[in-house]
Amino acid sequence: MKTSITPLFILLVFVQLSIGCNSNDETSEYHCPMECEAEKVYADKGSCPVCKMDLVVKEEKVVDDSHEIDPNSIFNLESKWRTQNSDEILLKQLKGDILVVVMFYATCETACPRLIADMKMVHDELGNNKGVNYVLVSIDPTKDTPEKLKSFAIENDLNSQEWTFLNGSVENVREFANVLSVKYKEISPTDFSHSNIISVFDQKGVLQYQREGLGIDNEEIVQEVSKLQ
């Protein structure tokens, strides 16, 4: 008696498996591997009417985390950046923190020091900087290498971990500026003209507040950040 159970059991497992396979097949859609007909799918196997190749099972699109990104979030940008510590990062790696963002360049002698001073003031006034990341993006990526940004951070006492300096390609910096509506132009090999804008993004990367101009009361920025904390 005992000996006859085992084959039966194996048989059952096989039946179970084949049912599993069948049900899987039923839900599959087939499409041309060359996508001759763009998005078109077929319920059954066969060949593509255009290139005559065998249709293949259309693989389910892997759900990546981009679907969770808010449609207005800067984390939709896929650009790569390097930090002052030469770490390669994507913007979405900054997710979860409130971001206080400015665009600047390290050799700037006119407006930037005041912009940086404003950032520092906000940083100091907030006191509790948990969950806040102060992001400084260079508009002069060729000169402001990660090493240069690191020494700038040290010189200006912006070397604690809540300060992030970003260096990106010329094209990616342009794109980033466009998301912030920041305008800038190289007016000589050593000088840039640029908008002085401090932007506040929430934890999802959605722009919540912008302040344009220098030396204006920082209280509003502090309040905006506090609201999000």
Partner 1 sequence: MIKRLIFFLTIVIGAIPEPLMAQVQSDMKKIKGGIYVPLYGLDSSNVIVDDFYLDTYPVTNDEYRNYLLKNPSWRKTEVIQLFADQRYLNKWVNDTTFSHSFKGQSPITSISWFAAKAYCKSQGKRLPSVDEWEYAAMASENEPNAQLDSVFQQFIIEGYETPKTSLKEIGQSSPNYWGIHDLHAMVWEWTSDFNSVLISGESRKDVDTDRKLFCAGGSVNATALMNYAAFMRYAIRGSIKANYCMENMGFRCASDIIK
Give the footprint of partner 1 on this chain (CB under 8 A): 33-34, 38-39, 51, 53-54, 71-74, 76-77, 110-111, 171, 174-175, 177-179, 181-188, 193-196, 212
For the bound state, the minimum distance from the C-beta of residue 183 to partner 1, rounded and expressed in Å, comes to 5
Q: Which pair of tokens denotes residue 226?
A: 């506090």
Residue 28 DSSP symbol: -
Closest CA to 35 of 50, 24, 22: 50
For the bound state, the minimum distance from the C-beta of residue 186 to partner 1, rounded and expressed in Å, comes to 8
Scan for tokens 């912006």, then name that residue.
158
Pick 111 or 162: Cβ nearer partner 1: 111
β-strand partners of 209: 200
Pick 130 or 143: Cβ nearer partner 1: 143
Contacts of 5 (CB under 8 A, 6+ apart): none
For the bound state, the minimum distance from the C-beta of residue 143 to partner 1, rounded and expressed in Å, comes to 17
Pick 72 or 160: Cβ nearer partner 1: 72
Question: Using CA atoms, how far apart are residues 51 and 36, in angstroms rounded to an integer?
Answer: 7
Pick 20 or 49: Cβ nearer partner 1: 49
For the bound state, the minimum distance from the C-beta of residue 193 to partner 1, rounded and expressed in Å, comes to 4
For the bound state, the minimum distance from the C-beta of residue 71 to partner 1, rounded and expressed in Å, comes to 4
In this structure, are residues 225 and 125 in contact, taking their beta carbons and an 8 Å threshold?
A: no
Pick 5 or 62: Cβ nearer partner 1: 62
Residue 165 DSSP symbol: E
Count of CA atoms in the C-beta half-sphere (13 A) of 91: 26
For the bound state, the minimum distance from the C-beta of residue 130 to partner 1, rounded and expressed in Å, comes to 27
Pick 159 or 178: Cβ nearer partner 1: 178
101 phi and psi, to 5 degrees? -120, 135
203 Cα distance to chain centroid? 12
